[in-house]
């Protein structure tokens, strides 16, 4: 990767010489940074984006230490796909959830839970837990999932316009806040905090549709968000969420992907390989769910 020159320009002219000179004849080559110059045979390493985990002035020793470990391009692409206000994006060939990662199906041995294959027609997942007596699962009304309009111009509305790199996609994560599995509960809380105050309309919708105990829990978290509670690094401690990427519940799978992505972006922990493939798929499916559900809490024009 030494094909980009970084010359220190030639010394300034001396004295007060103001005559036409011919310094161009002696000038160094202009520096060139064209991307094609990097396309050399030795660039066969991982195809990853590198998160900037702190601004340059916070990095030690010039810019060292500001880069996190790599995030697979599949995850980056999934984060960018549709869902948010598209602002005129030309994405006519955006892949559908069922076709975007054709070679990424993990083997059954990779996961303690059944592998989730995004179906072309979405079937309600079979709950893998017994709801406690005090917990009344929200009315989960799984959509009949069909591949979205390939123009991605319709559903979802303006949810997150922050550069369209969203880990804060509301689906119905709040309805997992009283999940019997503590890891799922932690993921749900983390993701809801990541959504922050801009998704209070979603939380209102989620609270209104929940039975009493869950309603109380969502209302309490909403109050905390209104009061200024935000996601902090400590919220991203390892919750062991990787194994949930293949959960039969696409919301849980998506939450796991969101938390892993947040960890990669905030802590620089990286997200690659099979885990990245699964995360990308979970995010893509989650996007489709989001587009279908968001109109319920998004004010119509």
- 89-128 binders of other proteins (CB under 8 A): 89-91, 93-95, 100
Question: CB under 8 Å, gap of 24 or more: what pairs does 95-102 form?
Answer: 95/284, 96/147, 96/148, 96/150, 96/288, 97/145, 97/147, 97/281, 97/284, 97/285, 97/287, 97/288, 98/147, 100/280, 100/281, 100/284, 101/74, 101/277, 101/280, 101/281, 101/284
Query: Looking at 22, 107, 126, 182, which residue binds other proteins (CB under 8 A)?
Result: 22
Q: Which is nearer to other proteins, 93 or 126 (CB)?
A: 93
Q: Which is nearer to other proteins, 19 or 300 (CB)?
A: 19
Q: Which is nearer to other proteins, 142 or 196 (CB)?
A: 196
**What minimum distance in Å lies between the beta carbon of 252 and other proteins?**
19
Residue 80: which region, alpha, beta or left (left: phi > 0; alpha: psi -120 to 50)? alpha
Return the range that interacts with other proteins (CB under 8 A); candidates 54-62, 114-122, 141-149, 212-220.
54-62
The SS3 of residue 8 is coil
Report 234-293 residues binding other proteins (CB under 8 A).
262, 265-266, 280
Report 154-213 residues binding other proteins (CB under 8 A).
158, 160-168, 193-199
Query: Looking at 47, 108, 147, 296, which residue binds other proteins (CB under 8 A)?
Result: 47
Alpha-carbon span 264 to 214, nearest angstrom: 30
CB 81 within 8 A of CB 94: yes
Tokens standing for 230? Answer: 């935000």
User: Which of 252-261 are b and which e, b meaning 16 or more Cβ less than 10 Å from the residue's Cβ?
Assistant: bbbbbbbbbb
Return the range that interacts with other proteins (CB under 8 A); candidates 75-83, 116-124, 137-145, 289-297.
75-83
Query: Looking at 13, 226, 237, 243, which residue binds other proteins (CB under 8 A)?
Result: 13
Q: Which is nearer to other proteins, 165 or 211 (CB)?
A: 165
**What minimum distance in Å lies between the beta carbon of 210 and other proteins?**
21
Q: Which is nearer to other proteins, 108 or 162 (CB)?
A: 162
User: Which of 185-206 are b and which e, b meaning 16 or more Cβ less than 10 Å from the residue's Cβ?
Assistant: bbbbbbbbbbbeeebeebbebb
Alpha-carbon span 44 to 19, nearest angstrom: 51
**What minimum distance in Å lies between the beta carbon of 154 and other proteins?**
17
Number of residues that bind other proteins (CB under 8 A): 96
Q: Which is nearer to other proteins, 82 or 138 (CB)?
A: 82
Q: Which is nearer to other proteins, 23 or 107 (CB)?
A: 23
């Amino acid at each position: 990767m030494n094909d980009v020159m970084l010359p220190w320009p030639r010394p300034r002219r001396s004295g007060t010489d103001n005559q036409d000179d011919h310094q161009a004849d002696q000038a160094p080559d202009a520096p060139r940074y064209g991307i094609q110059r990097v396309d050399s045979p030795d660039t066969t390493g991982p195809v990853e984006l590198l998160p900037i985990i702190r601004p340059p002035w916070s990095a030690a020793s010039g810019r060292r230490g500001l880069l996190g470990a790599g995030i697979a391009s599949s995850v980056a692409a999934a984060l960018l796909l549709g869902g948010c206000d598209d602002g005129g994006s030309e994405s006519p060939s955006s892949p559908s959830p069922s076709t975007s990662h054709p070679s990424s199906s993990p083997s059954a041995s990779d996961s303690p839970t059944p592998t989730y294959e995004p179906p072309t027609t979405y079937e309600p997942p079979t709950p893998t837990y017994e709801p406690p007596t005090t917990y009344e699962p929200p009315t989960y009304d799984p959509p009949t999932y069909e591949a979205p309009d390939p123009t991605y111009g319709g559903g979802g509305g303006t949810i997150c316009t922050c550069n369209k790199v969203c880990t804060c996609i509301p689906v119905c994560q709040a309805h997992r806040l009283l999940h019997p599995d503590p890891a799922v509960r932690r993921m749900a809380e983390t993701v809801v905090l990541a959504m922050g105050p801009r998704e209070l309309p979603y939380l209102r919708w989620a609270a209104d549709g929940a039975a009493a105990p869950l309603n109380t829990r969502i209302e309490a978290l909403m109050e905390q968000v209104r009061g200024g509670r935000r996601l902090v690094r400590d919220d991203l401690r390892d919750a062991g969420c990787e194994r949930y990427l293949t959960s039969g519940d696409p919301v849980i799978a998506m939450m796991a992907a969101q938390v892993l992505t947040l960890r990669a972006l905030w802590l620089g922990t990286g997200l690659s390989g099979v885990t990245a493939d699964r995360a990308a798929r979970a995010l893509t499916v989650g996007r489709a769910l989001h587009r279908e559900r968001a109109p319920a809490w998004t004010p119509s024009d």
